Amino acid sequence: MKILVANIGSTSLKWRLFDFSNGTERLLHKGGVERVDNHARAIEECLAALNSGGHLGRETDLAAVGFKTVMARDVSGCVRITDRVLAAMEAFNSLAPAHNPPYIAGIRQFQQRLPGVPLIALFETAFYQFAPEAMMRYAVPEAWHRAGVRRYGFHGASHKFIAERSAELLGREDVAERARRLYVDGGRTPAREPSLRVISCHLGGSSSVTGINNGVAIGTSMGLSPQSGLPQNNRVGDLDSEAIPYVMKTLGLSVAEVQRQLTRESGLLGLSGFSNDTRDLAEAAEAGSESAKLALAVLAASARHWIGSFFFELNGVEAIVFTAGIGENQSQLREDICRNLDELGIELDPALNQATRATEAVISTTGSRVKVLVIPANEELVVAREARRLLESNHIPLPTNDFTHAFTHNKEQTYASSHWTH
Ligand code: AMP
């Protein structure tokens, strides 16, 4: 069974082709095209690359195309893409302006180009469907909540991969299986005692920290939009809501300009004044730049804030995991984040930490009660696995109007008849 995972940006298309034949799980091909002004042409290039590489006999050999979609109004989980799902994504365009519009446009092109191939969305919000309500609510008036103002959480595919992989590495196959089956049974697969508690730190161009208990998320740093939580490359992260009316009045900024500055000129870029990339910042900090040092220090402080929050909520953890571009590569930042935590049983091994780049490793001391791990991100594999599960299973998670309890509304259906019934 061959599944293509398409990662659609406003001017790019990246893809990975997986083969799940004969019980194996193989990455057959990965590629991408940048600076495209036309998704239709990008899709042709993708299919041509797959064909010429001999990875695809015929286009109809594709069992599905999977998409790591970000968010949609009242829809989450892993679902077959229908017009209703696309309309639900469109309804949240303003919350994910950099992601939803290009995804919708790209998916429509795939629909036209590959009409017989099932298109499947795994929403980045899916991993948080089972988090406790108290961890996901904002203290806003009921009308705001009904309008959709709540925490959704993002980077779900990445954190789910960490939930699965960390459990495997820590020898807890029961928890790994529970995490794998999360969207099939809503976390009802039993796990052995004691529970496995993990904090997953996805630190990259966009960052979030998620608390995970026995393979299921209990909360995350990102909220209503991907603009929240930790400071991002050029997006603000958490901000007191009063700051917005205040700068509108005192600096005379319009809503659109405030939004532009918070999403384009804030985060690490706003703090440093010159770069949104931690590689530049680390180099500049080394050369004495105070603003670069500050940007990195704010990122580390915010990561510690969220790690601390989930450490407390989970009553301690067995492991803290670093993943994504910064988490995998920036040993200095990992050191800054884990500094002075020995009283909590968290002790980094400086040599192991420094030697680890973009590879799976334990970077804590042998005596550290809490293991600190680096696990390279593998979000596309999660999308492909969930798409496969949806194809193979008769348990089709249907889109639901009740986001919080999405799973309980799922109906058993055959794949062919899967559609929105609410
Ligand atoms: P991601 O969004 O996961 O691709 O992460 C991108 C960010 O990770 C970049 O903006 C850098 O801050 C950081 N990063 C990526 N690659 C490296 C590397 N090789 N060394 C250090 N930092 C890196």
3-state SS track over 201-216? EECCCCCEEEEEECCE
Rounded to whole angstroms, the Cα distance separating 178 from 187 reads 6
Domain with CATH 3.30.420.40 in the chain: 2-151+379-415, 158-374
Q: In what order do the strands lie in the sheet with 361-362?
A: 216-220, 208-213, 197-202, 319-323, 371-374, 361-362
32-73 pLDDT, tens digit each: 999 888 889 999 999 999 988 888 878 778 999 999 999 999
**For the CA of 233, the nearest atom of ligand 1:** 10
**Can you tell me the mean pLDDT for 395-415?**
37
97-140 pLDDT, tens digit each: 889 999 999 999 999 999 999 999 999 999 999 999 999 999 99
Going from the Cα of 374 to the center of ligand 1, the distance in angstroms, rounded, reads 14
Take atom 8 of ligand 1 and give the residue whose Cα is closest: 325
Of 335, 382, 380, the closest CA to residue 356 belongs to 335
134-168 pLDDT, tens digit each: 999 999 999 999 999 999 999 999 999 999 999 99
- 123 contacts 75 by C-beta, under 8 angstroms: yes
Which of 326, 359, 380 gets mutated to test ligand 1 (max ligand atoms within 8 A of its CB)?
Answer: 326
Confidence of residue 4 (pLDDT cuts 50, 70, 90): very high
Q: pLDDT value at position 398?
A: 40
Going from the Cα of 378 to the center of ligand 1, the distance in angstroms, rounded, reads 15
- 65 contacts 46 by C-beta, under 8 angstroms: no
Q: pLDDT value at position 179?
A: 97
Going from the Cα of 24 to the center of ligand 1, the distance in angstroms, rounded, reads 30
Going from the Cα of 330 to the center of ligand 1, the distance in angstroms, rounded, reads 8
Q: pLDDT value at position 415?
A: 26
**For the CA of 281, the nearest atom of ligand 1:** 12
Amino acid at 23: G
SS3 364: strand
The shares of helix, strand and coil residues in the chain, as percent rounded to the nearest 5, are 45, 15, 40
Going from the Cα of 413 to the center of ligand 1, the distance in angstroms, rounded, reads 42
* 308: phi then psi, degrees, rounded to nearest 5: -60, -40
Query: Which residues form the pocket of ligand 1, taking CB atoms under 6 Å from any ligand atom?
Result: 204-206, 233, 277-279, 324-326, 329-330
- The class (CATH top level) of 158-374 is alpha beta
Architecture of domain 2-151+379-415: 2-Layer Sandwich (3.30)
223-261 pLDDT, tens digit each: 999 999 999 999 999 999 999 999 999 999 999 999 999
Q: State the pTM of this model.
A: 0.93
Going from the Cα of 225 to the center of ligand 1, the distance in angstroms, rounded, reads 22
**Can you tell me the mean pLDDT for 394-419?**
36
Take atom 18 of ligand 1 and give the residue whose Cα is closest: 329
